Amino acid sequence: MDKASCIYLRKSRESGETDDTLGKHRATLHDLAKEKGITVSKIYEEIVSGESIAKRPQMIELLSNVEDGMWHSVLCMDIDRLGRGGLRNQGQIVDTFKDSGTLIVTPRKIYDLRDENDADVVDMMAFISRKEYQMITRRMLSGRVRSIKSGHYITPTPPYGYNRSGTRGLAINETEAEVVRLIYEMYVSSSGCYKIARHLSDMGIPSRSHGPWIHSTINGVLSNPVYCGKVRWFSETKAKDTIIADGNHKSIISPELWQRAQNVRKNKEHSPTRTKISNPLAGLVVCGVCGRTMVQNQKGADATRLVCLGYGCKNISSRLDHVESVIISELEITFGDLVIKPDLPMENKSRSKDKLKLLMNRKAELQKQKNHIFDSYEAGVYSVETYLKRSAQKDAEIDANKAEVERTEKELVAEAGGKDIKEKIRKVLEYYLNFDASERNRLLKTIIDNVTYFKDKKGLRISVTVRFKPV
């Protein structure tokens, strides 16, 4: 074997393996590669919790590369190191290796999943590994429930207002606790979440993310019983199985203040009055700077404008009808491209959908990694130079991922081909101007998932990216 190959290493946080495990496995697989005459060009390495592919960025990248035919073989310690989660995840891994003809090389055996005997062996090993994983998961779940009922705080990140105390305890951070008390006092005194968020930002009080406060963060503080001395655990499978128990930590607010706030929250809950939509782009346009949904706004006799209400957001507003015209122009261009493109085979469409799913998972993981870089800098782990360097590298990866997502989404639209998506766009373009704002909004939502809007001062240019609904 002299073609390019790679190594995949994974250590589970829940497995009890030591920090030296990856090092030992790396050395073992390098020795195996030397023995087999395999050239190792890359190592995929990760420490993860859980078996879901969506939570394993290196596995996502590996599968994408295997699918593209990049590797002749992948070296790993055992089949279950690739995955032992649900049937869907295991099936995705097996099918990717089988379809690409990529070999799986372990110290015990070399597997070629195109061979029926090897495929049967892998299926049997995967079944056994999955049963072991399910048993371990049930034990861990039972342990978590016991820990919660004993008053321990088991979530890794402490809530705003607290610091970690040991592995399962909380200690009050008095500086942040004062802010928590202020939030509750303002709320029960008739201040809403938006007003509280703006007040804290105007006062220069930093949020946990060091950015401006937003209403959803305030709402999260107001709905978390940890502040009145409780601990809460959400079931990942059944929302009704939420557990709330007395915590071992000290409360920041009194039970009476907590209950007053909950009463206010309950009284504010109501079914919205159904009014006729006056904005044809309602719920469709997302700010390209801060990610919030943009809304219409009209002041005086001026034409209605599309604006972002994100506090401190620098995105420039535009006349709503101008943005609407740009979006319709994008639809016309897309329709013209589809008319001249022949329909593609179903397998092409399926592969593009799978690729887009992997890219979106990768997008979420890249953002988490960027947040981790900042946290490491704040904790003093990284120097300024290291932080700037790694942050720049991560920004480049995020930009590349974004470009690839947009390219793949356009491929999906083109691959979908023809009759279905072309017919929908044709109907929108034919009837759009005949309808009122409410019907225009309904029409656009039949084909558009969202529109990303960005405008700067360089000639007041508007950049609109239309993302179509999955076909």
- Structural domains of the chain, ranges and CATH numbers in brackets: 4-142 (3.40.50.1390), 150-268 (3.90.1750.20), 285-468 (no CATH)
Residue 464 host element (H or E):
strand 462-468
**Cα-based distances in Å from 343 to 350, 354, 467:** 14, 19, 20
pLDDT of amino acid 298: 63
- Among residues 66, 51, 44, 33, the alpha carbon closest in space to that of 129 is found at 51
pLDDT of amino acid 183: 95
Contact, 121 vs 111, CB < 8 A? yes
pLDDT of amino acid 159: 93
Contact, 153 vs 168, CB < 8 A? yes
pLDDT of amino acid 382: 72
The partner residues of 170 in beta bridges, in order of sequence, read 164
**Cα-based distances in Å from 141 to 144, 148, 154, 169, 230:** 5, 11, 12, 19, 20
DSSP state of 251: P
pLDDT of amino acid 32: 93
Q: DSSP per residue over 270-317, as a string? A: -PPP------TTTTTEEETTT-PBPEEE--TTSPPEEE---TT--PPP
Residue count of the chain, please give it: 471
Render each residue's pLDDT in the chain as its tens digit; 471 residues. 456 899 999 887 655 555 577 888 999 999 999 999 999 999 999 887 656 777 788 888 898 889 888 999 999 998 877 876 555 667 788 888 988 999 999 998 999 999 988 888 887 877 776 676 667 566 666 767 788 888 888 887 899 999 988 877 899 999 999 999 999 999 999 888 888 988 998 888 988 877 778 888 899 999 999 999 999 876 554 445 678 899 999 999 999 999 999 999 988 765 455 556 789 999 899 888 888 888 888 655 456 888 888 777 788 888 888 888 888 888 888 777 665 555 545 455 567 777 888 888 888 888 888 877 877 766 677 777 777 888 888 888 888 888 788 777 766 665 555 556 777 888 888 888 888 888 889 888 888 888 888 887 665 456 666 666 655
pLDDT of amino acid 176: 95
Tell me the pTM: 0.43
DSSP state of 167: T
User: What would you measure as the largest C-alpha separation in the chain, in angstroms?
Assistant: 79
